[in-house]
Structure formats: structure tokens, C-alpha cells
Structure 1
Amino acid sequence: MNISKTAISRFSNVIFALLSLGVICVASAGAAEQGANADKEDAANKSFLNSKPANPALPFSDIVRAGNTLFMSGQIGFDSSTGALAVGGFEAEAHQTMKNIKATLERYGYDMSQVVKCTVMLTDISDFAQFNTIYTQYFKPPYPARSAFAVKALALNSLLEVECIAHL
């Protein structure tokens, strides 16, 4: 079989592109063994933090700690003292949501200053400016990185949901 240098060059470029994108990888048996050991270490370095026993109707953890990073489940404006969403529309729900984030962090010994990223979901994007006003009452500069986007609907017909990532 006679393969041209151009064909080999193109093939090499494709392989390099796939490698750099992580589509394919090359590893020795030793590397695979190290990867398996790393998986065991990762599992040992992960904690699922919950204030209550697991509930099949709510299949998530309050916070998952993986190494030095905390991944919080999304919070809505649910007021646990009333068992319902905070009364008073968007402003009340937004304040309750932020209070829930703060309380969840503090329950496990962390605080708002450790939050590095928030994702905000709004059922009405026109609430964005009002949310910013409320958000800045709970975080101080430099603010965490943040994404915000509109969604069609949220759990319990909440008007917003916020999930956070914190670094220890």
C-alpha cells in the first residue's frame, strides 16, 4: 500500500485535533491503573451534605463537597417556617432565596464569601434588574461570577432559582 505524505499529514492533523478536544486519548496500562486509583481518591474526597435523610420525592443533596469545592443544589424562595413560597411576589421570593443560600452554607460551616459562581434562573427576565439590587445585599465586591437566564417554569411555580458553587 502506498500512502502519500499529504494523506499522512491530514490524518495526523485529524488525530491531533481529536486528542486536543479530548475525543480520543492515549494511555498506558499504568496510566489506567493510576486513573482507577484517582477515582478511589476522588470518591474518598467527596461528601454529600444533607440536613435530613434522603427523600425519594426530593432526590438531591443540599451540598456536595468535592475536594475544596462546594456544589449547592438550587435554592428557591421556599420559607420553611410556612411550608410555602415567600409571600410578596418576586422581591420576597428573591430575598428568601438568598437567605436560604446563606442559611444552607452556614448550616455546614461555610459562608457567602466563599461563593465563586452563581447561576440564576428567572421565569421573567424583566426581573433581572430587581434581582441585581437584591443580590448585591447578600454579596460584597468582588462579586462571584454569575450567569442569568430566563426559564419557562420552576419547581413549586417559583419565580426564580439560584444555584451556587463555593471554593474553600
Structure 2
Amino acid sequence: MIKKVETGIAPSTAPVSDAIKAGKQVWLVAIAEDPATGGIVAGDIEIQTRRTIENLDIAIRAAGGTLADLAQVQVFLTDSGDAKGMNAVYAEFFHEPYPVRATVVVKELLAEGLRVEMLATAMVQ
């Protein structure tokens, strides 16, 4: 049975969920959205990456897990030059064994000013 996880993150204007759980598997998506305002946080890639991973953390905790439960992360960047800054912040949050990860550079993301988006899969108890 698939169920939406209530994350408490600001509601999206699009018809999407921040997290979905089916059994022990959880699918999550996060952007650099301020949970209090619903707006995209302004700043460089480090600021946006930190907020994005903090939002992943909020979502996975709402599903009963932690960032250590993430098995796979897909990162979408709008500028390949942002990879170094994103990796520096990513390394603050993730440790061995690292989630399997793919990083893709895209032309743009849907929200104006958004530089990074992350899609993840986790296994929780």
C-alpha cells in the first residue's frame, strides 16, 4: 500500500508529494525551499544544497528514518560548475557507506532561482 508521508515542509504549488512510503521503501524529493515560507532560499550552491539536504532530512525523519537510510540519491544541477560546492556540502551530511548517486546537469529547474534538486530512495524500518 502506498501512502503519502506528511513532512511538514511547505506545500508545493504542483500536484506532488515530498515523500511516499510503501512498506519499508520511501521515495523522497527535495529542493531548496524554506519550510516556513515555501519560497526558494536565495544564495549560492552551498546554501541551496544545505537547505535541500535539510529538507531531505525532514522528509526521511517524517517517514521514520534518517539520512543514513538513503540508498540512492539523484542530484540535478543547473550548472556543472556547481558540482564542487554541492559535493562539499553533500560530504557534510553523508558518510560511508555513501548512497549510490547520479548527478545530472539540466538546462533549468521549475522554480525560478533554483540551482539544485534531489530525488532519493530509502529503506526504513
> Would you say same fold, with TM above 0.5?
yes
The answer to which structure, 1 or 2, has the higher relative contact order (CA under 8 A, 6+ apart) is: 2
* Residue 80 (structure 1) shift: 2.1
* Residue 142 (structure 1) shift: 1.0
Q: In structure 2, how many angstroms separate the alpha carbons of the residues matched to 1:123 and 1:69? A: 28
Q: 1:136 aligns with which of 85, 91, 103?
A: 91
- The normalised TM-score by structure 1 is 0.66
Correspondence for 1:30: none
Q: In structure 1, how many angstroms separate the alpha carbons of the residues matched to 2:48 and 2:12? A: 25
1:108 aligns with 2:63: yes
Choose between structure 1 and 2: higher strand proportion.
2
- The normalised TM-score by structure 2 is 0.86
Correspondence for 2:30: 75
Structure 2 contact 34–41 (Cα < 8 Å) conserved: yes
Choose between structure 1 and 2: higher helix proportion.
1
Q: In structure 2, how many angstroms separate the alpha carbons of the residues matched to 1:58 and 1:50? A: 16
CA spacing shift, 1:46–1:81, aligned 2, 3 Å: closer
* Residue identity (%): 26
1:98 aligns with 2:64: no
Q: 1:126 aligns with which of 63, 66, 81?
A: 81
* Residue 48 (structure 1) shift: 2.1
* Residue 81 (structure 1) shift: 2.5
1:159 aligns with 2:120: no
Q: Can you give the 5+ residue segments of structure 2 that lack an aligned partner in the other structure?
A: none
